[in-house]
Amino acid sequence: MSATRADPAAPPQIVKAAVISGVVNAVINGAIQFFMLRGHDSIPMSVDAISAGTHTVLGSAVPLAVSLAMILTAVAHWTLKAPKKPFVPTTLWLVVKHGIFAFGALVAGAVVWQRVVGTVEVSVATAVVVLGAVAGLVATLVNYQTLSAVVEDAR
């Protein structure tokens, strides 16, 4: 690739779009989680059981991360204005890959958290910040990886 080539979605634009997506998703999902969790006094980060009968922060983070990863991968593809590969098979494979990675990363992180720290009760505000941060991180990484892969593939 030549340094003088003017790409419509060069890496600085991809990074900027990814960060904006991450911040927006962190705020939106943090607000959603606030309204879902209000009324609770405290919430455990995790518990030492596979099927907990209680709501936990990291237990909520897993489906949040997986669904965001898969949805935002498809959205990033459809909203990209630059030339790109067709959705099937390139982006469809990214949807699956990002969902599986988000699941594995969050479950592994929750298991390590439980093993090292144990059960810790946190306030609703802390739970909202953690879930918003997870949503923001997932959105940033997924958007960056999707745009980079689709634009690189189209070159």
Count how many domains the chain has: 1
Say if 90 falls within a structural domain.
yes
Amino acid code (one letter) for 152 = E
Say if 116 falls within a structural domain.
yes
Say if 43 falls within a structural domain.
yes
If we measure between CA atoms, which residue out of 64, 54, 61, 62 comes closest to residue 121?
54
Single pTM value for the model: 0.88
Say if 91 falls within a structural domain.
yes
Q: Is the pLDDT of residue 155 over 50?
A: no
**Which of these ranges, 17-26, 33-42, 43-52, has the smallest mean pLDDT?**
43-52
Say if 100 falls within a structural domain.
yes
| 6 confidence band (pLDDT: 50, 70, 90) | very low
pLDDT for position 20: 97
Note the pLDDT tens digit of each residue in 51-109. 768 889 999 999 999 999 999 999 999 999 888 989 999 999 999 999 999 999 999 99
pLDDT for position 152: 57
Q: Nearest 5°: phi and psi at 44? A: -70, 140
Say if 3 falls within a structural domain.
no
Tokens 């790109």 found at: 84
For residue 126, give its domain range. 12-154
Say if 68 falls within a structural domain.
yes
Contact 95, 74 (CB under 8 A): yes
Say if 28 falls within a structural domain.
yes
What percent of the chain is modeled with pLDDT above 70? 90
* Alpha carbon distances (Å) from 32 to 97, 129, 136: 26, 11, 13
- Backbone φ/ψ region at 39: left (φ over 0), alpha (ψ -120 to 50), beta: left
**Which of these ranges, 6-15, 108-117, 133-142, has the smallest mean pLDDT?**
6-15
